[in-house]
Structure 1
Amino acid sequence: MSEPQKGTDIRDMLLDAAGLSVDKLPMLQIIFDRMATFCADSLRTLAASQAYYSLSHVESGRIGDILEMYEANAVAGIFHAPTWDNHIIVGFDRDFIFSMVEVLFGADGSEPPFDDERNFSTIENRIAQMLFEQAGKALQASFALVSDTPFKFERQETRMDFAVIGRRNNMAVAAKFLLQALGRGGEMFVIIPQSALTPMRQVLSRVISGESNAGDPNWSRQIRTEVKKASVPLRAVLEERSIMLDEVAHFKVGQVLELQATPASRVKLEANEQPLFWCQLGQTEGSYKLRVEEVFDPEKEFINDLLSS
């Protein structure tokens, strides 16, 4: 047997050979608990009924063995973590997707749970993609305690043998979460190759807080003051409509364009082409005015577009 290179810690060599022990990485439990909280918080803005995420357990195993349990019963999202130079998998089982559809579309739980072995529909796949994007944000915010890396969603797969992130016999850590809503639920899972976590094993082996050292308070105060002085143009949009270019080409001076909007229609308030609020149009002392009623929520608008399409 060759001798270890000078400067190499024999303990690191033994850890690399034996793989990671989840029991010796307490920060993983904290990170995944935070992920469950972030996922639940993001769902509250979309659903009228309460939905709860909870971390079930964290385990290690071979990637192929973990995925095999979900074959023909789940949809998987493949994410790239560029800082780690690795890919990870986030997945939702069939019960999770069916429960989430009922939650997002306003069901009250009076109907029996949907149970069908059919393929996922187009709307269900689109909802899954939206949930994958939320999960990526939750992962990034949770792992920020130990590593600042984005999780870029690349694609989704319904066949687990296509959810390839390396050799199927490679070791990985799998976190499993339970969704509870409307008296039913489902399971979300996250699979991270051990090769991505090994460089972080020392920081994952001890519990650290999520608070960072405070910066210079005077500098922070000056930045806030200068930002507040910035001029921001606002635009109120009463109605938007798509028409053919040929119609625009035949516009004439004095032509009247009819709108479907009424004085009771909501007005979208924008800044720098970014929607901010829904407002109510009014009039006072001969001038039009807007009353802010609701924050513009892009994910909620996405669901409304699905319902109207």
Structure 2
Amino acid sequence: MSTATSHPDIRDMLLDAAGLSLDKLPMLHVIFDRMTTHCAESLRQFAASQAYYSLSHVESGRIGDMLDAYEANAVCGVFHVPEWDSHVIVGFDRDLVFTMVEVMFGADGSEPPVDDERGFSNIEMRISQALFEQVAKALSTSFALVKKASFTFERQETRMEFAVIGRRNNLCVAAKFLLQAINRGGEMFVIIPQSALTPMRQTLSRSTAGEGTARDPVWTRHIRTEVNRAEVSLRAILEERQITLGEVADLKVGDVLQLQATPRSKVKLESSDQPLFWCHLGQAEGAYVVRIEDLIDLEQEFLDDILPR
């Protein structure tokens, strides 16, 4: 009697060896873009000054190489993701940490930025941990577009050699973000092993996945509010007529133009040369007014213009 033994899919093994192609994973950029919005929103509860996150770029490489670039210049948070059976690293460079400390303590940017190679203080480490916990929520919400995942904070490291989430020569995807606040900035990075993303590669490769749910409600409301506040000009047209250029040249002060319109004629209401409504002309409190009667059928208007009457 033989016992069946499960073996890794050969396709997964080949993909792990060759690495994922970021060009074929468009949903990763959607997820990280969504993450910037959530990170910016979460900072509002910590600071009065507005802080802006933006996705700088996404790249692939070796975990060790990615971390070595921040040696002695960053603090890292290590997170466990049980749904992926993997770990993730989130890091803040020195400029971001110093900027956020100033923002949280009410600085307005008038003082010169901190330029010090010292180690991070206890206060700076505690603020970093609070920020890591907010980033964990943003990651969880953003990756929910493709697969539910929880990011549990485990520890902080300031020495990159101790930020271990696997072999240093393993392939990873690194997303880098820029923070801007009080005329200063800093960088945040997220390192995810490619082995954690490989099982999701089919979902991440769908450019239309999650489009219905990718809209952020806060930004949607904000954009709608700003659009509704935009000022536009309305024009009420009682009558239009065509005359020749020669007739226009002959016009002089005192000439009278005869109109075919009557008080019962429809008035066209338009904005930016776009017909909107048919209206009726009236008076109220000594001023002319128009009452909206019907929506203009643009298709019918076009047919009326080209067809003989």
TM-score range, shorter chain: 0.5 to 0.7
Residue equivalent to 1:154 = 154
Q: CA–CA distance in 2 between the matches of 1:59 and 1:11?
A: 22
Task: Provide Cα deviations, 1:194-253, integer angstroms capped at 9, x if missing partner.
Answer: 0000000000001212546xxxxxxxxxxxxxxxxxxxxxxxxxxxxxxxxxxxxxxxxx
Once the two structures are aligned, what percentage of the paired residues are identical? 76
Instruction: Give, in whole Å, the separation in 2 of the partners of 1:17 and 1:133.
Output: 32
Identify the residue that residue 54 of structure 1 maps to in structure 2.
54
Query: Distance in 1 between the 2:124 and 2:167 partners?
Result: 29
SS in 2 for 1:48: coil
Superposed CA deviations along residues 257-290 of structure 1, whole A, max 9, x for unmatched, are: xxxxxxxxxxxxxxxxxxxxxxxxxxxxxxxxxx
Q: In structure 2, how many angstroms separate the alpha carbons of the residues matched to 1:151 and 1:10?
A: 29
What is the alpha-carbon distance in structure 1 between the residues aligned to residue 181 and residue 97 of structure 2?
12
In structure 1, what is the equivalent of residue 129 of structure 2?
129
Question: Root-mean-square deviation (CA), in Å?
Answer: 2.0
Q: Which residue of 2 aligns with 1:142?
A: 142
Larger Rg over CA atoms: 2
CA distance in 1, matches of 2:137, 2:130: 11
Partner of 1:64: 64
TM-fit CA distance, 1:128: 0.2
The within-5 A match list for 1:20-169 is 20-169=20-169
Query: Structure 1: how far apart are the matches of 2:34 and 2:190?
Result: 13
Residue 209 in structure 1 maps to residue 210 in structure 2: yes
Deviation for aligned residue 1:11? 5.9
Shift in alpha-carbon separation, 1:154–1:11, aligned structure 2, 3 A? closer
Q: Which residue of 2 aligns with 1:216?
A: none
The Cα offsets for residues 152-202 of structure 1, whole Å up to 9 and x where unpaired, read as 000000000000000000000000000001111100000000000000000
Deviations 1:90-149 (A, max 9, x none): 000000000000111110100011110001011000000000000100000000001101
Partners of 1:110 and 1:176 in 2: CA distance = 27
Q: Distance in 2 between matches of 1:77 and 1:103?
A: 21
Q: Secondary structure at the match of 1:50?
A: coil
What secondary structure is seen at the aligned counterpart in 2 of 1:64?
A: helix
Report the Cα distance in structure 2 between the residues aligned to 1:211 and 1:135, rounded to whole angstroms.
23
Measured in 2, the distance between the counterparts of 1:80 and 1:29 equals 22
User: Contact conserved, 2:171 with 2:193, CA < 8 A, in 1?
Assistant: yes
CA distance 1:169–1:12, change in 2 (3 Å): closer
Using the TM superposition, give the Cα deviation of residue 17 of structure 1 relative to its aligned residue in structure 2, in angstroms. 3.2
Distance 1:9 1:61 in 2: 23
CA distance in 2, matches of 1:46, 1:168: 34
Taking the aligned partners of 1:137 and 1:176, their CA distance within structure 2 comes to 17
Amino acid at match of 2:84: W
TM-score for both structures, normalised by structure 2: 0.64
Give the equivalent residue in structure 2 for 1:222: none
2:12, 2:105 → 1: CA distance? 51
Q: Which amino acid in the other structure matches residue 70 of structure 2? A: Y
The superposition leaves residues 21-76 of structure 1 with CA deviations (integer Å, 9 ceiling, x where unpaired) of: 11110000000011111000011122111110000000000000000000000000
1:223 counterpart residue number: none
Q: Which residues of structure 2 form unaligned runs of 5+?
A: 1-7, 214-309
In 1, Cα distance between equivalents of 2:140 and 2:124: 24
**In 2, Cα distance between equivalents of 1:12 and 1:87:** 19
CA distance in structure 1 between the partners assigned to 2:68 and 2:78 by the alignment: 16
Question: Cα distance, 1:18 vs. partner?
Answer: 1.3
Q: What CA distance in whole angstroms lies between the structure 2 residues aligned with 1:10 and 1:77?
A: 33
Find the aligned partners of 2:10 and 2:151 in 1 and give their Cα distance: 33
Q: What is the CA distance between 1:15 and its match in structure 2?
A: 2.9
